[in-house]
Amino acid sequence: MSTDQRVPDGAALVVIGATGDLANRKLFPAIASLAHRGQLPSNFSLVGVARTEFGDAEFTDSVFASIRAVDPAAEAAFRALMPRIRYVAGMFDEAATWNTLRAVLDGCDAEHGACGNRLMYLSTLPQFFEAAINGLSEAGLARDPEGGYTRVIIEKPFGTDLESGRELNTFIHQHLDERQIFRIDHYLGKETVQNVLALRFANAIFEPIWDRRYVDHVQITVAESIGVEHRGTFYEQAGTLRDIVQNHALQVLSLVAMEPPASFGADEVRDEKVKVLKSIEHMNTFDVGLGVVRGQYTSGEVGGETVNGYLDEEGVSPTSTTETFIAMRLAIDNWRWAGVPFYLRAGKRLGKRVTEVALRFKSVPHLALPTTAIDSMEPNTLVLRIQPDEGVRLEFGAKVPGSGFEVRTVGLDFSFREGFTEVAPEAYERLLLDALVGDATLFIREDEVDVAWQIVQPMLDAINSGSVPVHPYKAGTWGPYASDELLDAHFDHWRTL
């Protein structure tokens, strides 16, 4: 059971890039799951647009096959939609494609009661974004139709650096208003990422200690055990800095570090996120050399299996210096966080898949107990486990039973799986529903993208100038040794996960 009972108005969802990986692995199963939960209106249509020469029936079969592979239980609920699935085959840079789409959408309004509401999902490779938006616009599909809406969901990457990010935003705004644009970062659709807001702003006990007076430092880890898989060619151009830090990691950081918003309106929440991102100190080249560590995996063992090194992955240059791991120390120059380092680390082929935020608190001001009594004690830590084993853990010292006085770290654990019977929707499911009802709170606004690139750009410049070497690390470990040195300077260490 879900507590979310929202059912959007009738609409047509247009998936542009409908034969791609994202559409098949995530979007179609998410739509089927919404149908399964009773959260799709009866007058809903699905329209695929892609280059493959499919007819409606072949496309419908391929959609069903994707749903079956992910969630067979949702397939039956989705069957009712079958007569309302359409497909448009065509090149993105040809007007005919978009004119056909317009005719198909008019048909959806007339036959399926889609009410003129259109949610376009751009799930193509980024190099097709402009052609697709242009095509939509020239076919008159970028405007709100009479009595309905046009919204466009755009997938990351939102550019590849500050300049291209700005160019993309400028281009999009020539065709669409910001209120129509829903930039998606699927991390914001994760329940546990949203729980950062619940934990901070629905409880009186955390916020008073959530600042520089009590927090020593913060560690954010986005670790993956998988390698680059079949995405070597894409990854060569991206690297972990663009793939994870510019978006997912900085989004998580902004929720952890932002000020309480006045309300949960889309703009109020996003204003606070932008404000804190703006307070992150921009590094100069010298700071990047000291505060950023890059790594690249070599062959090793992950989960008992021997795996290739990055340089042997398909699509990767044998002399590549692209990072598959990055760690950094960020400073937030504001009243709340002055002097509290935020350490981020992200990478592929690490020891295991885990994303978490850990707030490490300061030690007690005076320790009356003999130091021998606290040998196995760490400072208090509050851990927000984003995935897997979603939950919250508070680590503190407790007396070891016995006649002596030894204190050891113990943990108070909350697990979402055990604490709730409600089933969490998948990130894409939640975000698609939000876009259908027009709630942009969990989508990225133009200025958020811009400020995130401003933080990352000096790092890209330093990397391009060759001043941030890439250190090898064995697959299945926790990145290069140099990343430990980032914290050594602070007399601390990365959490063992």
Beta-sheet strand order (sheet of 85-89)? 85-89, 44-50, 11-16, 118-122, 150-155, 181-184
Q: Which residue is nearest to ligand BG6 (CB)?
A: 243
Q: How far is the CB of 478 from ligand BG6 (least distance, A)?
A: 17
Residue 243 contacts by C-beta under 8 Å, 6 or more apart in sequence? 157, 235
Give residues 239-278 in contact with ligand BG6 (rule: CB under 6 A): 243
Give residues 371-410 in contact with ligand BG6 (rule: CB under 6 A): none
CA dist list (Å): 161 to 101, 281, 327, 461: 32, 18, 19, 10
Cβ nearer to ligand BG6, comparing 180 with 240: 240
| C-beta atoms surrounding 388 within 10 Å | 12
Q: How far is the CB of 142 from ligand BG6 (least distance, A)?
A: 26
Instruction: Please confirm, yes or no, whether 175 is among the known catalytic residues.
Output: no
Cβ nearer to ligand BG6, comparing 224 with 313: 224
Site string for ligand BG6, 185-224 (x = CB under 6 A): ---------------------------------------x
Dist. CA 265–CA 274, nearest whole Å = 14
**CA-wise closest residue to 67 among 101, 33, 117:** 33
- Establish if 426 lies at the interface with ligand BG6 (CB under 6 A): no
Helix, strand, or coil (residue 464): helix
Give residues 353-372 in contact with ligand BG6 (rule: CB under 6 A): 355
Dist. CA 399–CA 408, nearest whole Å = 6
Phi first, then psi: give them for residue 309, nearest 5 degrees.
-80, 165
Cβ nearer to ligand BG6, comparing 52 with 237: 237
Q: How far is the CB of 355 from ligand BG6 (least distance, A)?
A: 6
Give residues 328-357 in contact with ligand BG6 (rule: CB under 6 A): 355
Q: How far is the CB of 76 from ligand BG6 (least distance, A)?
A: 27
Distance of CA 286 to the CA centre of its chain: 29
Cβ nearer to ligand BG6, comparing 355 with 477: 355
Phi first, then psi: give them for residue 209, nearest 5 degrees.
-105, 10
Cβ nearer to ligand BG6, comparing 67 with 354: 354
Query: Of the listed 186, 230, 248, 493, which one is catalytic?
Result: 248
Dist. CA 36–CA 230, nearest whole Å = 31
Q: How far is the CB of 99 from ligand BG6 (least distance, A)?
A: 33
Catalytic residues: 248
Binding site for ligand BG6 (CB under 6 A): 224, 243, 355
